[in-house]
């Protein structure tokens, strides 16, 4: 059984549709989402409803999701991010809102652990360094631990000498996972920040213990047109062209 692993959709429905279509073409029927369904993008309702209906999905709450439902104060967000969360509050009602409100902060299955930020701070920590990985390493038992939040495709592990190591994940390179604790970030579907504007997503094969990152083209301009129509902050739209 393979898992499609993705994160930080952020209301970008064009990107989400492209990623789910990519998974369908590759026969992937189980999914892992590391949180942040809403925020930044123009179609938070469509993203929430699509994920609510997605069979075989394991998903946790991100910090933008938490802010949407009042679990985090908007003071922790910059003005543009707060604008988009306020906008999402006008879009999501009923079952879509209940879906986001009911997301757990952490999940553990026989195949993986799942949090948005980090095991010790599921909603707030950006794991970007080897030392942060090392500081978290006792916080989960089932590896890999999938994370999101930073929007950067990253792979953390303990090297043969026990010293923590980190690499950027490159597209279309099969990564055999190291023994011991391993942390993986599949990058962002809806707002990549690693200089590649294509949607990022991954496929995890627990039997072979292999993870592979992919980049999927989507109609960036279609998303940007919707954002312009909604008069969303220009920077949120412009950054999608560059993936920063
Ligand atoms: Fe995010």
In three state form, how does the secondary structure of 88-149 look? Answer: HHHHCCHHHHHHHHCCCCEEECCCCEEECCCCCCCCCCCCCCHHHHHHHHHHCCCCCEECCC
- Give me the pLDDT at residue 160, please: 81
Report the separation in Å between the CA atom of 65 and the middle of ligand 1, taken as the mean of its atom positions.
9
CB-based burial label for 209 (10 Å; 0-12, 13-18, 19+): middle
* N-term to C-term CA, the chain: 33
pLDDT tens digit sequence for 30-84? 999 999 999 999 999 999 999 999 999 999 999 999 999 999 999 999 999 999 9
Q: What is the pLDDT of residue 162?
A: 84
Residue 189 CA to ligand 1 center (angstroms) comes to: 10
User: Residue 109's pLDDT band (boundaries 50, 70, 90)?
Assistant: very high
Alpha-carbon distance of 6 to 201, in angstroms, equals 5
| Alpha carbon distance 104, 7 (integer Å) | 15
**Residue-level pLDDT at 175:** 96
How far apart are the CA of 36 and the centre of ligand 1, in A?
A: 5
CB 23 within 8 A of CB 16: no
Report the alpha-carbon distance of residue 154 to residue 150 in Å, rounded. 9
Check residue 161 and give its pLDDT.
85
196 pLDDT above the threshold of 90: yes
* pLDDT value of residue 152: 98
Residue 161 CA, ligand 1 centroid: distance in Å: 33
Counting Cα atoms < 13 Å in the Cβ hemisphere of 201 gives 27
Question: Mean per-residue pLDDT for 228-244?
Answer: 97
Q: pLDDT tens across 138-175, in order?
A: 999 999 999 999 999 999 999 888 899 999 999 989 99
The rounded Å distance from CA 190 to ligand 1 centre is: 9
pLDDT of residue 173: 94
Q: How far is the CA of 83 from the centre of ligand 1 (A)?
A: 15
Amino acid 75: pLDDT = 93
CA 167 to ligand 1 center in whole angstroms: 20
Q: How far is the CA of 10 from the centre of ligand 1 (A)?
A: 7
Q: Domain 3-242 adopts which CATH fold?
A: Purple Acid Phosphatase; chain A, domain 2 (3.60.21)
In this prediction, residue 138 carries a pLDDT of: 93
Cα–ligand 1 centroid distance for 162 (angstroms): 30
Q: Where are the domains of the chain?
A: 3-242
Averaged pLDDT of the chain: 97
Find the 187 Cα to ligand 1 centroid distance in Å.
9
Residues recorded for the chain = 244
**What is the side-by-side order of every strand in the sheet holding 174-176?**
57-59, 30-33, 3-6, 199-205, 210-216, 174-176
Segment 225-233 mean pLDDT = 98
Please say if the pLDDT value at position 16 is more than 90: yes
């Amino acid at each position: 059984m393979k898992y499609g692993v993705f994160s930080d959709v952020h209301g970008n429905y064009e990107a989400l549709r492209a990623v789910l279509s990519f998974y369908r073409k590759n026969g992937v029927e189980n999914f892992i989402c590391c949180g942040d369904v809403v925020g930044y993008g123009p179609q938070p309702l469509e993203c929430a409803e699509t994920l609510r209906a997605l069979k075989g999905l394991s998903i946790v709450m991100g910090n933008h999701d938490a802010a949407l439902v009042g679990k985090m104060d908007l003071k922790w967000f910059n003005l543009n991010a707060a604008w988009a969360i306020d906008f999402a509050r006008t879009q999501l009602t009923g079952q879509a809102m209940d879906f986001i409100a009911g997301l757990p902060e952490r999940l553990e299955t026989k195949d993986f652990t799942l949090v948005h930020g980090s095991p010790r701070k599921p909603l707030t920590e950006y794991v970007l360094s080897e030392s942060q990985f090392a500081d978290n390493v006792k916080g989960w038992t089932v590896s890999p631990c999938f994370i999101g939040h930073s929007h950067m495709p990253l792979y953390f592990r303990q090297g043969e000498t026990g010293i923590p190591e980190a690499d950027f994940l490159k597209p279309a390179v099969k990564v055999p996972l190291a023994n011991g604790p391993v942390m993986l970030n599949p990058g962002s579907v809806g707002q990549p920040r690693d200089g590649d504007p294509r949607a990022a997503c991954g496929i995890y094969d627990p039997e072979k213990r292999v993870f592979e990152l992919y980049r999927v083209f989507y109609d960036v301009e279609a998303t940007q047109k919707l954002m312009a129509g909604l008069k969303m902050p220009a920077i949120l739209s412009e950054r999608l062209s560059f993936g920063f």
